[in-house]
Amino acid sequence: MATLIDLRRRIRSVKNTRQLTKAMKSVSAAKLKRAQNQVYQTRPFSQKLASILSNIRARTPDLKHPFFNEREEETVDIVIITGDKGLCGAFNSNTLKFAESKVKELKDEGKIVNTIILGKKGYDFLRFKGGEIKDYFIGIFMKLDYIKSVEISDKIISDFLEGKSDAVYMIYNKFHSVSKTEIAFEKLLPIGEMEEIEEEEMLEYEFEPSPEEIFESLLPIYLKNYFYRVLLESAASEHAARMVAMDLATRNASDMIDSLTLTMNKIRQAAITKEILEITTATEAMKK
């Protein structure tokens, strides 16, 4: 049975842990707010750009571009986006389990699958499992910026254009709200059917320069912006998961402190009652 000294030490230790988890929750909340704002600021530009490209493509059905070239998928690149740190609940483990199932599914179809890892947790997991890693990027979420995102996306796009991969897929956590994120599996390249434009919504454009030149200029911007938005969504999802996990840990620590304090008070009460009983017994014995 635990002694009073042991209980005091455990209570002090849990209080220190609670202080740490509470601080981590506050830090994650601040980072989430910033990441959430970046996601909301990036989405309108991406959506508007996609709308413009869809409109132009709808009016120019014979338009050709390497990014739209469908070919038999023999070699596939999968970009798996995880976090660089832990203590965020099942954020990383769920993403990696989903990625494992997708990789197995594609391999069962007879495809060669190359994995590109973003995030230390994903890299450590695949290295431990002995999986083959085509490329990896660690520490990008410490200070996520557009320039670093473009460097990574340029490399992935270049491999596709050079024929080193027939398709590129992305696995990441899509951010909806603090309490809701979902693991997404989306094709980056080749670009499939873009959003359909209703006939009455189609705008008239006078092309200067030609539609081909416009696509040549806008499509790389669209893809790079899309890739950057995916990274922002994943970062926001990670901060949300960590904030929720730290909030739960803080509440669990408070419950444990209450339970330990109750146990300690019961032991102290029992000890006091025992001492009073001994004093009473001794007093009665002396009277006799």
Distance, C-alpha 34 to centroid of its chain = 15
Partners of 181 in the β-ladder: 175
C-alpha to C-alpha distance for 223 and 158, rounded to whole angstroms? 12
C-alpha separations of 212 from 1, 64, 135, 169, 207 in Å = 79, 8, 32, 25, 10
- Within the chain, strands assigned E span 75-81, 112-118, 135-137, 167-177, 180-189
Helix (H, G, I), strand (E, B) or coil at 77: strand
Q: Which residue among the candidates 88, 118, 171, 241 is catalytic per the annotation?
A: 88
Q: Which of 39, 50, 80, 71 is nearest to 169 (CA)?
A: 80
Is 252 an active-site residue? no
For residue 219, what are the contacts with CB-CB under 8 A and spacing of at least 6? 53, 65, 67, 191
The residue assigned the tokens 């460097």 is 151
Answer yes or no: are the C-beta atoms of 172 and 81 closer than 8 Å: yes
Beta carbons of 167 and 192 less than 8 angstroms apart:
no
Decide if 79 contacts 65 (C-beta within 8 A): no
- Report the C-alpha gap between 269 and 141 in whole angstroms: 52
Q: What residues act catalytically?
A: 88
